Amino acid sequence: MVMEQRLLADAQFLLLGSQTHPRLLSSPHSALQPLLPLITSPGASLPTLSSLLKTLTLQLQCTTTTHLPRIVLALLSALSDHHPDLRREISLAVRAFALRLLPFSPSSSFAHSLAILFKDADTSSDVTDEPTFLSICFRPCKASLRRWLLQNVDKFCVRPSVLIAVLLGFTKDPYPLTRKAALDGLVWLSDKFVAVEDQSLLQCCYFSAAELLFDAEDSVRCSAVRTVSEWGLLLVESNQDKCKIDWSDALFVQLCSMVRDMSMKVRTEAFDALAKVPMVSQNVLLLTLTKKATSATKEITFPGRYAAKICKLPASAAAFAFIHGLEDEFFEVRRSACCALRTFAIAYGDFACEAVNLLMDMLNDDSVVVRLLALETMHHMAMYDCLKVQEGHLHMLLGALADDSTLIRSAAMKILQLIRLHKLAMFKLCFEGLVRNLELYPQDEADLLSVLLNIGQNHGWFVAHLIQENTEKIEPSVGGRLGFESARIVALLVLAISAPVSIERGICSIPLRMYSYAVTLLGRISDALIGTLNQNDLLSHLSRCSRFSCVSSSEFFRGEESAVPLVKSDTSLYPKNDGIHGSCSQRLLELERAVHPIANYPLKMHDEMESSMGNILQKIHSLWPLIRCGFADEATRTLRSWKKQLKTFTCISSEPTAELVFVLQYLRMIKLLGRVWIRCMFPLKPCFGVRKLEVLFRKLERSLKEMKYRFLGFSSEQELHILELILVTLILKLSNVKACCPSTNLKEISSVVTHVEHLVGGRSVELSSFVIELQKILREIGPSTAVLENALLLQKSLEYYTLRQFMFSGMLVHVVAKLDVYNNYENPLHYVLGLPVGIPIEITLRNISRESRMWLKMTFKETLAQFVYLDLHGPSGGDERRQFTFVAPFYGPPKARSFLLKISIGMECSSEPPYRSNVCGGPKHELINISGDSEVFLARVGG
């Protein structure tokens, strides 16, 4: 306390006693430096701090020197940061000081004042408004102050239109740091523009930034690349159909022209920006992998900058772009180029095939980091089934298995367990390479055996053929000893037990003694399956398979798939303890699920599943421009690869998470919407007939309704997202009159719009431009308007629709039911002709409230259906899980010796309009099926 009083007294003497004190004049910083520990000390008393604040405030009011305000303001800023209780009083004092300085030329003291006021928005409104900002901008001041002002444009209350004009003006500033700050301000401002209709404004910002791509300063060019990227994306998004592709190509080529820049940072920034380009013409994209452009391509030009004074951008500027990036001397550029390359490889198959050649060349690089980067990129492509490996490529991958680096060998193994080999010769070559690795690096045995198990389950027919050729090598010697010290014998045995078996038929395609021999390797194989299957369960599996019947490979694989889908693991390429924790075959996973609950499975797989779903949801909205422009096939291929990736996680648990089920349903819905969009918006394209279109509409509407009613826990934004998709579907359906009833469809559109308005009302959720335009059109449509005119008016609103990113904001709940009927063809239920038959069913309901209206639907010959209402107030259990046995009466069984009945559970959608009369006592509203169909076999008593 004594020290506090002494420091305070010294400060008061220096600041208030005499402003011409020699210590202040000679070295003001060192004179006031002792006050900083007092301010930052957590134990400083409030009276002392208040007295210090009063002293600094008085000094700020009466100072006549030019050097003291900056020091006093720095102390006040520290005081505000460390003692928020005093922030209000500090802001008021600084605000008064700033208003005194405002009529004069801006100084560094004024900038320091604003920096303090930015911390308290309530006291800074009259010094951060638009007139103040403009007056500071256009007064003579130091370049550092202008730069600071532009770096903090987000703190001022300025209209975007005014701010754009100011920032564009400062891009011509003679000082490079000021130009950079102006470009960074444009990048920040681009995030504020969701939908801009003024093409001239977008093009002005885009071309102004493109001019600075050839600035003399590296930092300015870096900022220019980011600005061109962000405003170019806005320009692409604001255009329609063919113009969208043209502008996207122009942006792509413009960014490609910067990958040869002299600055490493600029090249890295260019490749980072290339990865964000949503679409590009395939002929332009393939140019990036070639050294020369064709004569036809050379004639193609785009709007942009090829040099400081050349305003036409030739397509040939993209030539050799990725080759430059992958061969760059700096690792940062190579890494960025690889990320951009794999982004396009996933979307464009021809590009992926050519890109593999470049990545394989990188495996010859002397740098371990570069080789690892190439393998990581190929692994990412293999995850999306985009890595097409030829025999020459396989030699390179197998060569990586002999690398001295453990990380390189581990990365190569990860790729080998994902790829598909289409020739027996390639499969044998791969096997020989793995055996050679096992001989060279015995420490990799666990990882290598895991790879062999994965490769075997993917190539069942090849495994059977290889084992048949090498059976004699696996047999015991004359003395009865098994030669399992040989790496080849161990690899053959592990490969043998990985071959698919048919548990239902009790057959396999390899000699049964192989399973018995494999028991001697139980501990070594268990190490390869650690975290997936324990040793006891593996032994049970081997013992069970050894009692199967062995058939020829041709008989075993007749009518069956020759490979089991692989569980793709999107883990980091740097495995824990340099190990490969590959997936086990599907039958082993089924065995594990029968013994252990899902809680025993590695949490890593769950994290990978969430990561995969998040990545897909971030990228899926970028496919919409492809669909809008009529490239549904490209979008479908990408959706199919994503679906295949997520499907692999369904084998982890018998009950997938609600989020996983929803994302799979969402992908299917987008695929259906893309096919419908092509047929309705591009009627001249060769497509399918009206009948098939009606089927697609039914599937699409059912998919959307299942998303709407079978998942609980949506936020307002998520529910609005689904309702907009329903509106798009209804408008498309109305545009094809043969596929709908126009009057009914129009009522449904009005009903959904009303629902949207009710959802948004009173909440902080903004309507999209699509819904706003649709509201206007619905007000214009009158009862006398022709059907065709209605369809054309509503179809116009689709020009404003953009698929937004769907983001999970909470936990979803999946509404699902399960039916168990203990009955089969050999043990049917018996009935007496003319009397109703009772069908005992064990029903399990999940996440269904008692107020829900549930119906049991019994269907005979796909057309005749009977409904039985399920009263949920009787059965015990909570909403989360309710299980009970119910005897369902089926009336009027047919006059047949036996028949098949299909049973399912549906949930009545009470919010939907009535669709049928209640003559038979069935549901009044549409049913959403929440269970699979269960089959019941019935036979008449007495035949």
Q: What is the pLDDT of residues 785-820, one digit of tens each?
A: 555 566 778 888 888 888 988 888 778 889 999 998
Mean pLDDT of 622-631: 80
Q: What is the CATH number of the domain that holds 921?
A: 2.60.40.10
Q: Which residue has the higher pLDDT, 194 or 875?
A: 875
pLDDT at 49: 79
Maximum Cα–Cα distance for the chain, whole Å?
A: 121
d(CA 178, CA 217): 12
577-590 pLDDT, tens digit each: 333 333 334 444 44
Are residues 421 and 519 part of one domain?
yes
d(CA 457, CA 500): 6
Owner of token pair 């909440």: 763
**pLDDT confidence bin for 333, thresholds 50/70/90:** very high
Question: What end-to-end distance do the CA atoms of the chain give, in Å?
Answer: 105
Q: What is the CATH number of the domain that holds 591?
A: 1.25.10
Which span out of 318-322, 552-556, 911-915 was modeled with the highest average pLDDT? 318-322
The count of C-alpha atoms lying within 13 angstroms of the C-alpha of 669, restricted to the half-sphere facing its C-beta, is 23
Q: Is 352:387 a contact under the CB 8 Å cutoff?
A: yes
pLDDT at 738: 53
d(CA 616, CA 668): 13
Are residues 505 and 515 part of one domain?
yes
Does residue 592 have a pLDDT over 50? Answer: no
CA proximity to 524, closest of 464, 457, 438, 612: 438
d(CA 227, CA 235): 12
Owner of token pair 């190509």: 249
d(CA 398, CA 416): 9
- Counting every residue, how long is the chain? 943
pLDDT at 4: 62
User: Does residue 841 lie in a domain region?
Assistant: yes
- Of 572, 596, 620, which marks where a domain is finished? 596
Are residues 257 and 213 part of one domain?
no
Mean pLDDT of 148-171: 86
Query: Would you give the DSSP letter of residue 14?
Result: I
d(CA 204, CA 207): 5
Phi, psi of 806 (to 5 degrees): -90, 125
Query: What are the C-alpha distances in Å from 22 to residues 15, 33, 34, 290, 805?
Result: 12, 15, 17, 72, 64
pLDDT at 430: 92
Tell me which amino acid residue 123 is: T
Q: Which residue has the higher pLDDT, 309 or 263?
A: 263
pLDDT at 579: 34
C-alpha 690: how far from its chain's center?
34
DSSP states of 177-220 as a string? HHHHHHHHHHHHHHTT-S----HHHHHHHHHHHHHGGG-SSHHH
Does residue 275 have a pLDDT over 80? Answer: yes
Query: What are the C-alpha distances in Å from 282 to residues 118, 304, 634, 796?
Result: 49, 20, 11, 30
User: Does residue 718 lie in a domain region?
Assistant: yes
C-alpha 668: how far from its chain's center?
16
Are residues 643 and 505 part of one domain?
no
Q: Is 348:334 a contact under the CB 8 Å cutoff?
A: no
Owner of token pair 């420490």: 443
Helix (H) or strand (E) holding 762: none
Are residues 773 and 655 part of one domain?
yes
- Rounded to the nearest 10°, the torsion over CA 301, 306, 310, 313 is 10
Q: Is 687:672 a contact under the CB 8 Å cutoff?
A: no
Mean pLDDT of 383-389: 85
User: Does residue 151 lie in a domain region?
Assistant: yes
CA proximity to 722, closest of 648, 684, 666, 784: 666
Tell me which amino acid residue 642 is: W
Helix (H) or strand (E) holding 816: strand 816-820
Average confidence score pLDDT of the chain: 79
User: Does residue 808 lie in a domain region?
Assistant: no
- Of 569, 596, 623, which marks where a domain is finished? 596
User: Does residue 680 lie in a domain region?
Assistant: yes
pLDDT at 36: 67
pLDDT at 147: 83
Mean pLDDT of 872-888: 79
DSSP states of 78-141 as a string? HHHHH-GGGHHHHHHHHHHHHHHHTTS---HHHHHHHHHHTT-GGG-TTTSBHHHHHHHHTS--
Say whether 871 sits in a helix, a strand or coil. coil
Does residue 595 have a pLDDT over 50? Answer: no
d(CA 658, CA 666): 12
HEC string of 139-156 equals: CCCCHHHHHHHHHCHHHC
47-74 pLDDT, tens digit each: 877 888 887 787 777 654 455 666 777 7
pLDDT at 228: 95
d(CA 773, CA 798): 9
Tokens encoding 915: 């669709």
Which span out of 541-550, 833-842, 845-854 was modeled with the highest average pLDDT? 845-854
Domain that holds residue 14: 2-237
d(CA 544, CA 515): 9
User: Does residue 806 lie in a domain region?
Assistant: no
Are residues 609 and 592 part of one domain?
no
Are residues 903 and 889 part of one domain?
yes
Please list the residues that pair with 887 across neighbouring strands.
Answer: 840
Tally of domains within the chain:
5
Would the pTM count as exceeding 0.75? no
d(CA 906, CA 923): 10
- Of 340, 374, 393, which marks where a domain is finished? 340
User: Does residue 668 lie in a domain region?
Assistant: yes
Phi, psi of 820 (to 5 degrees): -125, 115
Are residues 725 and 618 part of one domain?
yes
- Rounded to the nearest 10°, the torsion over CA 88, 93, 94, 96 is 120
Are residues 897 and 767 part of one domain?
no
Tokens encoding 669: 């819905």
Question: Sign of torsion, CA 878 882 884 887?
Answer: positive
pLDDT at 453: 86
Are residues 302 and 229 part of one domain?
no
201-236 pLDDT, tens digit each: 888 999 999 999 999 999 999 999 999 999 999 888
pLDDT at 602: 40
Report long-range pairs for 656-665 (Cβ below 8 Å, ≥24 apart).
Answer: 657/609, 658/711, 658/811, 658/812, 658/813, 658/814, 659/610, 659/613, 659/808, 659/811, 659/812, 660/609, 660/613, 661/814, 662/707, 662/711, 662/812, 662/814, 663/613, 663/616, 663/617, 665/703, 665/706, 665/707
138 burial class (0-12, 13-18, 19+ CB within 10 angstroms)?
exposed
704-760 pLDDT, tens digit each: 999 999 998 888 889 999 999 999 999 888 876 554 566 677 888 888 998 888 888
Are residues 540 and 450 part of one domain?
yes
pLDDT at 261: 92
Please list the residues that pair with 901 across neighbouring strands.
Answer: 936
DSSP states of 820-855 as a string? E----SSSPEEE-TTS-EEEEEEEEEES--TTS-EE
**pLDDT confidence bin for 860, thresholds 50/70/90:** confident
Mean pLDDT of 840-844: 89
**pLDDT confidence bin for 3, thresholds 50/70/90:** low
Q: Which residue has the higher pLDDT, 298 or 715?
A: 715
- Rounded to the nearest 10°, the torsion over CA 20, 21, 26, 29 is -110
User: Does residue 810 lie in a domain region?
Assistant: no
Q: Is 514:493 a contact under the CB 8 Å cutoff?
A: yes
Are residues 152 and 50 part of one domain?
yes
